[in-house]
Every structure is written in structure tokens, then in C-alpha cells.
Amino acid sequence: MSDETLRFEADERPPLHLSIGIAAQFATLAITSVLLPPVVLVTLGGGSEAYLGWAVFAAVVVSGIATIVQSVRVGRIGAGYILVMGSTPAYLPVCISTLEASGPALLATLIIISSLVQFVLGWKMAALRRVFTPTVAGTVLMLIPVSLAPLILRKMTDVPEFADPAAGPVTAGAALLTIVFLALRFDGTLRLWSLGIGLMVGSLVGHYFGIYDVERIVAASWVGYPDPGGWPGLDFGLGSTFWALLPGFVMVTLVGAMDTLGDSIAIQRASWRKPRAIDFRAVQGAINADGLGNLLSGLTGTVPNTTYGSSIAIAELTGVAARRVGVWVGVIFVSLAFLPKLLAVVVAIPGPVAAAYLAMVVALLGMFGVKVLVAEGLDYRKNLIVGISFWLGLACQFDMLFPEYMTGFVGEVLGNGMTAGGLTVMLLSTMLDLTSPRPRRLHVPLSDESLAAVDAFLVRFAADTKIGEEMTHRLRAVGEETVHSLMHIGAERRLLVVARADGKAVELEFVASAGESNLEDLLAVIDVADLPHESAASLRLLKHYASSVGHRQYHDTDVVTVRVE
């Protein structure tokens, strides 16, 4: 974003009236997405009316609290940027299966347990960066539309018995065509509002057919809260059903973390006038806040939440990225939770219209998975892993793979396409990693005395991989200058050096406990930075010898990746 388009950076304070006005735009655009997943969950899963009212109320409150925490950053929880949090349809396949099989109490327990995975990811993100990869996330994202397809088709026929037979397809078609037309033909504001306008058009058509639940709106009070008896409680029986369903929840939680990772990187790029290196401490905070939102969702018995990518689009469109706006979005969400009549306007939306909305959202989720895979790079091996995993997920979802053997505990675990495909891609990726040539590693203190050990390590690596004299010289120079640079941005620490051969290139990783400065930022301004002479010299040499330098700063670790070609 250029200096001219960004009016307020993340740490600036726009006027109060502007903050509230922009926050109202964020909230208005997101509120339907917050409400519809719990509505679909309860209506398709066979939940009670009391549970529906409670789940909707809890979803809005939890989304508000999580959005505030994302914006202000409480300790290591929160990104410190505008990241609107809300219910996610990605969990619907496993949530509906749980609700149908065992009820809302077990559902709440599974959400609580799976939320702990995100805290582990946030805590050990540096160590797990090669375990949970974009290949895994992209494959599971592609399988979300597959897993949700039967549920969406059921929802498209969810009309009262008295309704005209054409009510379902006509209302769903009106909503879907409106959304697709606006999204394809327009940019800016109209495209942002395409989902909301499509829901309005579908609801009007539904009202014509008499399937828009006006009585629910009339009966709802203006101010109030649901009966606390709608809270489902918790079920810690941990029987076979719990263990069969848990892998699916963990899989979707991992994917949600990857989604949050992408959004937290994108919002950083949109929140500053001058480009900065990505602060992975903020990414860790975003994932922790996502975990907090899911923990609260489980404790209150509603659909888990995630960050909304629309946050980035609205920040770019309005030119306001101040975190103060995110706080007001959360306040508006919590306030709306106590206005039942306004929430009822969304809850009353006909089932076929909600299905059309979900079809668009999950289609985009699937294509986001494709983008993740393409951005990561697909060689022959990854193509094979993704192709096999997707096919197995599809086959298991629709009981096409030896259904006579898919019974009992195994059938419950592999009956969901996301779980089956996700487990397959993780197992195949792990097998490939374990059977590949192992990278060379060196553990030393990060100090001047260790330079000789690092140099000798790189010389041995170059000799073993037969990369030639010129490449050996470049590797040794990169090693020396990277170690020098790391020593200048932090106190004495331990250092892990990892060397990998990659075709005609070599990738080096330098892993140390966290420092304060970022090498990418320093390299970007090396010609004008007011740096000590020795530090500036090291950075200039590093910039000369390396093909690329990436520096990920985590709360407890620095990871500098240098590619030499």
C-alpha cells in the first residue's frame, strides 16, 4: 500500500467518530458470516431451539472478544493488528457429524481439546515449521468443499412442508446468481458486499415464497440474552466416538492456523506505509488469539472461529489500518449479541439461501487451498502426494473405498474426507522427508570463537556434496557474514546451522534465540542505514553473496534462511 492510500497505520489513532464508523463497516460486512455457521450447525445437526439461540449468542460474543484481543495483543496473545474474528464453516463437517452422533456436549469438549493444538503451534511455531507445511494445509483446504457438499445439498432442500416445490431451487439460485454476478463483474465496494447483497436478494425471494421466518423476527425482543439453559455443558466421557472424531477436529484446527498465518502476514503488509519484514511474533500472537477464540467457543458450546480475510480488503479499501478500529469492531459485536431482534434477521434467512452462501464461501476456501499449494511450489513428488491424498479423501467421504471394511472405529475416523486426506498427506510427506538425504547440522555457541567451527562445517559440506570451489567460497562467505550479523542483533546465544543441497543451490538455516533487529529490514535499507561500520559491512557482503535472505523472528527463536545459487 502506498503512502497516499494508507491514511492511518496500525499504531496511529484516528478520530473517535472515524474509528467507530470504519468499525461499523467491518462489523456489518462480517456479522452474517459470524451467524450463519452456528445456524447451519444446529439446524442440520438436529439441535434444539434453545441451543440455537445460545449458539448464535455465544458466537457473536466470542467473536467480539477474540477480535479485541487480536487488536490490542495481551502478552503473547493477539497480533496487534485489525484481524476480525468470526465463525468458520471449515468446522461444519466434523461439528455436524458430532452433533448428530453424540450431541452438543461432546462437540464442545472436542472443540476445547482441539483448541490446545493452536496454542502449541503458537508456542513452538519455529520448531514445527517443517512438520505442518503448506502442502498439508492446501490439501485439507481443497477437501473442505468435498466434505461440505452433502451438507450444502441437504440445506438447499431445507424448506417448510407447506412451501412450493420451487421455493428451494429458486431462492438458492437467486442468491447464488446475485453473488456470482457481483463478484465477477465488479470490484471494490460492490464485490466486498456481494455475499451480503446475495443474501438479501435470496431472502426477498424467500419471503415471496413464504419461507423467510418473519415470525421469528417479530417474536424476538429488542434487548436481551438467551436462556442460559441452552448451554450444552461438557462431556468428558472420552469414549470411542470422541477418539474417532478428534483427528478431524485437529486437522481442521491445523488448517485454521494456516489460514490465520496467511491473514496475519497479509494484514501486516497492509498496515504500514513503508514495507517491513514480516514479524512472526505477531503471527504467533494471531495464532494464539485464534486458539483463545476456539477455547472460548468450546467452553460456550458454539462453532469455532478464525480470522476473516475481509479485514485486509477493508483496510486497503478505507486506508485505515489502526488497531483501535479492531477494538471497536469487537465492542460492536458484543453489543449486537444483546440485540436479539437484529440477530433474528439473519437467523431467519431461509435454508436454501444459507446453502448458496456456504457454497460460495467453501468454493473460495477450496481455491485458496490451490493457491497455497501453487505458492509453495509443486514438483513431481508434491503433485503425487497431493493427488493421492485428495483422491483418497474424496473416496472416503463418499464411501467409495472398500465400504465393507470401513466400519466401526476405522470407519468413524476415515469417514470424513478432510481427516482421511489430511492424514494421508501428512503420512506421505513424513515418509518422503524420512527417506530423503538428511541435512547436515552443527550446534555451537553464537560467538566469535565459533566462526572457525561454522567455516569448517561448511567446507566439509561443500566437499561432500561436490559443489565446486567457487560455490564453496560463496558458502563460506555467507556463513561468516550471517553469523557476524546475528551477533550484532542480539546477546550471546546458541546457534544451530542446517545445510541442505537443493539441485544447483544450497539452502542454509541459521537458528538462534531471538534478537531485536530484522536482517531483511536492515538489508532493505543498507545503503542509507545509520549502522555501525562493521555491521554494515557484514550485511553488504551477505547481500552480495546470497541469492535470497529470509529472517523469521519468533518470540524465542530467530530463523535466518539463506539461499546460495
Which DSSP letter does residue 551 get? Answer: E
| pLDDT at residue 40, rounded to an integer | 85
Q: For residue 442, which phi and psi values (nearest 5 degrees)?
A: -140, 130
N- to C-terminal Cα separation, the chain = 31
- What is the predicted pLDDT for the residue at 54? 93
Q: Is the whole model's pTM more than 0.95, yes or no? A: no
What does the pLDDT read at residue 125? 73
The pLDDT value given to residue 8 = 86
Question: Which amino acid would we find at residue 212?
Answer: Y
The predicted pLDDT at position 60 comes to 95
The CA distance from 442 to 297, in Å, is 43
The contacts of residue 128 (CB under 8 Å, 6+ apart) are 120, 121
Q: Looking at residue 490, what is its pLDDT?
A: 57
Domain borders along the chain are 16-433, 440-564
Q: What's the pLDDT score for residue 204?
A: 92
CB 77 within 8 A of CB 288: yes
In Å, the largest CA–CA distance within the chain is: 83
Q: pLDDT value at position 515?
A: 56
SS3 at position 218: helix
Q: pLDDT value at position 546?
A: 64
Closest C-alpha to 144, from 88, 199, 60: 88
CATH of domain 440-564: 3.30.565.10
Distance CA 329, CA 326 (A): 5
Sign of the C-alpha dihedral, residues 537, 543, 546, 549? positive
DSSP reduced 3-state for 301: coil
Which pLDDT score, from 0 to 100, does residue 543 have? 61
Q: What is the pLDDT of residue 307?
A: 87
Grid coordinates belonging to 535:
555491521
Q: Which of 292, 356, 236, 239 is nearest to 123 (CA)?
A: 292
Q: CA-to-CA distance for 93 and 151, rounded, in angstroms?
A: 8
CA–CA separation, 534 and 393 (whole Å):
55
| Residue 85 confidence (pLDDT) | 92
Identify the segments of the chain with pLDDT beneath 50.
1-3, 519-535
> Distance between CA 422 and CA 72 in Å, rounded?
34
In contact, 551 and 544? CB cutoff 8 Å: no
| Bridge partners of residue 500, in order along the sequence | 507
With beta carbons less than 8 A apart as the criterion, state whether 92 and 285 touch. Answer: no
pLDDT at 293: 94
- 16/154 Cα distance (integer angstroms): 45
Residue type, 317: L
**Do 394 and 417 form a contact (C-beta atoms < 8 A)?**
yes
Residue 535 confidence (pLDDT): 46
* Cα 149 versus chain centre, distance: 21
